[in-house]
Structure 1
Amino acid sequence: MTNPETQDPPRLDDQLCFALYAAQRAVTAAYRPLLDELGLTYPQYLVLLALWEHGETPVKQLASTLHLDYGTVSPLLKRMETAGLIHRTRSPHDDRSILITCTPHAETLRTRAAAVPETLLSATGLGGTEVARLREELWGLAERAEGVAERAR
């Protein structure tokens, strides 16, 4: 049996959560200058990617797609509407549902934004195979962690 009083405390650099946190911050910082050229923040970019992929989307579905709760995505969407990037309208089929669509201005950004991922990958030196493996591992980790979080509720 291990004695907690004689055991070394956990080291920060040995924590998976800290490595993920540091990587997320570094990747977001690397995206910043590319997105600044488009006049977008990273969260706005993610919303637009989802809308460009799926088209008109209910807020609830958008929040689920982005793995965000409604309380987080709602203020983001309000700011994006004020910035002229999206429209929010009530669903004609359900007054409780708000539909999100891109504005013409956001659609004009689509072509320029298409170059962002490749530009970032090129700058980091990551190859396609490495990116695919890393993405697969991270989605697997996310799925496992979500399962743990669900069981803890």
Structure 2
Amino acid sequence: MIVQLKGNVQFPITLDPTVWIFDDRKIKLEEAFLPDKEENHPEKDVEPQQRIRPPVKRSVSRFEGKKVLENSYVMPIKPFLETSNPKEDATSAILHTDQGEIEISLDELKESLLIFAIDGKPPKEDGPVHLLFGDGTNQQNPFKGIDVITIN
């Protein structure tokens, strides 16, 4: 249930979407494409040096914990992409899925969201993540079964 981000990057990284449920950067799927989406991104007010460690709530009440396990969530890929530091000549990305390879532009990838929880559970059969474009154009048909993203 991991996703590799590799290729034409300074720092290849391995992502573990199973821990994102505790990350404050997650967004409820039903709120991801609302007009005020920017207000839902806690990292917009965070200084760059504070983004090194993922923002995680220190304590979650029992009620909040139960609520978290009932919703569907997405995670913006942009902070992870920035951490991997794509090289200057990088222009595209290959999504390696269980159905084959899909090429998208690096700009499309930067604005994309990864579905990592559906009704509070990881998408196991067609996971570990699904990809939605940031504008929601493929919301009804996300790219599924992504386990490697190769930057070209």
Structure ID, larger Rg: 1
Higher helix share: 1
TM-score if structure 2 supplies the norm length?
0.22
TM-score if structure 1 supplies the norm length?
0.22
Q: Which has the higher contact order (CA 8 A, sep 6+)?
A: 2
Higher strand share: 2
